[in-house]
């Protein structure tokens, strides 16, 4: 048994060393700007900017193909950091400082037209024709497409409601610590 | 020489790994939408399969058999295959980033391509000498690449053909694959 353990460890170690050496030799240098931008972005991969994830958004930002205001969850702070990093002028007063949001369907206004259901890119809306629609909050990325298509203004974006799963103790305040 | 040629012919055509042994069907269906990517995937798999056959033979005869650890065979084989695939991935990423993007998840998935594990296990089972094992692996991989490229060509034509709605997409692909497998049955008895 010890021979087996020893030889397999040796084999694994040798292969690991070889791969480690190969990784050093064959390392690909990515665009350092992309990596720096990715470090600024929230990294929650929410997709609200329209890119598949923060990596795609960082790539587009580095190529100046997307505006620095693209990231809704990042808020003002991220816009300011991105503008400084890319050397772009931006009017910060136009950027709303938002909290995480989800879509909501107002049930007394919904006519069950299924337009939001068809527009939703993440299949977060439950519904059928002439049935009142509802939103799966876990799947919603708050992209706002349902708000645009709704003929009766029954969909809107609201801050993510606090539930038993998402509630947390507020951070201890400085006052409490000194008193 | 004649023996080696016959071995190559037998593994590539008569006992084709995809269409006769039905191993490695995942990349066969998954990466066969365009001929260029299919050929590249075939090249990567060829490299991995040949290296895996050779290194598995060496490990089998120099490590596992002398130390009486044959019960660890699959584990050791998988370890070696995973390392070779990792290495291939690094090389492809360095040498051809566009191809790396196109192959995507299928490149690391060569590790779980059952043909890559199946061929070394078959050569072990048949107790072939080293040169034969190497050729067996290489021949099978060539057969795999060839079938992948052939099938990709067929699917490129299929994409612009008029297919009944019920068969559009994957179903007609499967039907084509079965017809291709039937055609390859014609090689039986060649060697």
Residue B7: CB atoms within 10 A of its CB come to 18
Q: How far apart are CA B142 and CA B148, in angstroms?
A: 10
Contacts of A27 in chain B (CB under 8 A): 94
Touching check for B103 and chain A: CB below 8 Å?
no
Count Cβ atoms within 10 A of the Cβ of residue A22 and give its class: 0-12 exposed, 13-18 middle, 19 or more buried: middle
Specify whether the CB–CB gap between A52 and A143 falls below 8 A.
Answer: no
Q: What is the mean pLDDT of chain B?
A: 89
Q: Do A19 and B75 touch (CB under 8 A)?
A: no
Asked if pLDDT for residue B33 goes beyond 90, the answer is no
A28 contacts on B by Cβ (under 8 Å): 93-94, 97
Cβ-defined contact of B94 to A18 (cutoff 8 Å):
no
Residues of A with CB below 8 A from B101's CB? none
Q: What tokens appear for A39 in the block? A: 């470090």
pLDDT computed for residue A175 by the predictor: 65
Q: Look at residue A96 in the predicted model and tell me its pLDDT.
A: 65
Does the residue B133 lie in any domain?
Answer: yes
Domain tally, chain B: 1
Is residue B165 assigned to a domain?
Answer: yes
pLDDT band at B148 (very low <50, low <70, confident <90, very high): very high
Chain A, 28 to 67: residues with Cβ < 8 Å from chain B are 28
Does residue B5 lie in a domain region? no
Answer whether B83 sits within 8 Å of A26, measured CB to CB: no
Q: Select the residue of B67, B86, B91 nearest A7 (Cβ to Cβ).
A: B67
Determine, yes or no, domain membership for B6: no
Provide the sign of the torsion angle of the four alpha carbons A13, A19, A22, A28, taken in this order: negative
In a domain, B190, yes or no: no
Give the residue with greater pLDDT, B177 vs A55. B177
Let me know if residue B172 belongs to a domain: yes
Residue A5 forms contact with B (CB below 8 Å): no
Share of chain A above pLDDT 90, in %: 22
Using the predicted structure, report yes or no on whether residue A176 has a pLDDT greater than 60.
no
Q: How much is the average pLDDT of A14-32? A: 87
Q: Is residue B7 one of the residues assigned to a domain?
A: no
Q: Which of A62, A58, A60, A29 is nearest to A42 (CA)?
A: A58
Which of A6, A7, A25 is the best mutation test for B, with the most CBs of B within 10 A?
A7
Q: What is the pLDDT of residue B175?
A: 92
Residue with more model confidence, B169 or B139:
B139
CB contact under 8 A, B97 and A28: yes
For A97-155, write each residue's pLDDT tens digit. Answer: 667 788 899 999 999 999 998 888 888 899 889 999 999 988 887 778 888 899 999 99
Q: What is the 3-state secondary structure (H, E, C) of A114-175?
A: CHHHHHCCCCCEECCCCCCCEECCCCCCCCCHHHHHCCCCCEEEEECCCCCCCCCCCCCCHH
Q: Residue A68: is it exposed, middle or buried by C-beta count within 10 angstroms (0-12/13-18/19+)?
A: buried
- pLDDT confidence of A159, banded at 50, 70, 90? confident
Residue B9 lies in a domain: no
Flag if A28 and B94 touch (Cβ within 8 Å).
yes
A179 pLDDT tier (thresholds 50, 70, 90): very low
Q: Which domains does chain A have, with CATH numbers?
A: 32-94 (1.10.15.40), 101-159 (3.30.70.20)
Does the structure show a pLDDT above 50 at A1?
Answer: yes
Range of B64's domain? Answer: 20-185
Helix axes A32-40, A75-86, angle to 10 degrees: 160
Tell me how crowded residue A131 is: count the other CB atoms within 10 A of its CB. Answer: 12
Share of chain B above pLDDT 70, in %: 100
Q: What is the tens place of the pLDDT at every residue in B102-133? A: 777 778 888 888 899 999 999 999 999 999 99
Question: Which of the four pLDDT bands, split at 50, 70 and 90, describes residue B145?
Answer: very high
pLDDT confidence of B30, banded at 50, 70, 90? confident
Q: What is the pLDDT of residue B44?
A: 87
ipTM over 0.85: no
């Amino acid at each position: 048994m010890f021979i087996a353990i020893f030889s397999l460890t040796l084999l694994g170690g040798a292969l690991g060393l070889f791969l480690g050496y190969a990784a050093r030799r064959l390392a690909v240098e990515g665009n350092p700007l992309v990596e720096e931008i990715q470090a600024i972005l929230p990294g929650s991969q929410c997709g609200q900017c329209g890119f598949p994830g923060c990596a795609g958004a960082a790539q587009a930002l580095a190529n100046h193909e997307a505006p620095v205001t693209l990231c809704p969850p990042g808020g003002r702070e991220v816009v300011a950091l991105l503008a400084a990093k890319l050397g772009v002028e931006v009017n910060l007063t136009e950027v709303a400082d938002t909290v995480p949001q989800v879509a909501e369907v107002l049930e007394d206004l919904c006519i069950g037209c299924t337009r939001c259901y068809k527009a939703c890119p993440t299949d977060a809306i439950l519904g059928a024709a002439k049935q009142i629609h509802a939103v799966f909050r876990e799947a919603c990325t708050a992209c706002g497409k349902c708000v645009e298509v709704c003929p009766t203004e029954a969909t809107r974006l609201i801050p993510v409601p606090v539930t038993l799963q998402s509630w947390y103790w507020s951070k201890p305040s400085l006052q409490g610590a000194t008193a | 020489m004649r023996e080696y040629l016959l071995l190559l012919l037998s593994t590539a055509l008569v006992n084709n790994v995809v269409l006769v042994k039905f191993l490695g069907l995942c990349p066969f269906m998954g990466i066969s939408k365009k001929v260029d990517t299919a050929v590249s995937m075939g090249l990567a798999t060829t490299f991995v399969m040949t290296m895996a056959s050779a290194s598995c033979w060496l490990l089998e005869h120099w490590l596992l058999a002398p130390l009486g650890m044959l019960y660890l065979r699959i584990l050791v084989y998988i370890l070696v295959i995973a390392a070779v695939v990792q290495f291939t991935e690094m090389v492809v990423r360095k040498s051809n980033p566009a191809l790396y993007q196109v192959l995507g998840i299928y490149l690391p998935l060569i590790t779980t391509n059952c043909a890559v594990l199946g061929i070394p296990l078959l050569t072990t089972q048949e107790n072939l000498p080293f040169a034969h094992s190497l050729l067996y692996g290489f021949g099978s991989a060539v057969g795999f690449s060839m079938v992948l490229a052939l099938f990709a060509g067929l699917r490129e034509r299929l994409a612009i053909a008029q297919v009944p709605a019920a068969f559009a997409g994957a179903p007609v692909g499967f039907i084509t694959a079965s017809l291709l497998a039937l055609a390859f049955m014609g090689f039986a008895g060649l060697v």
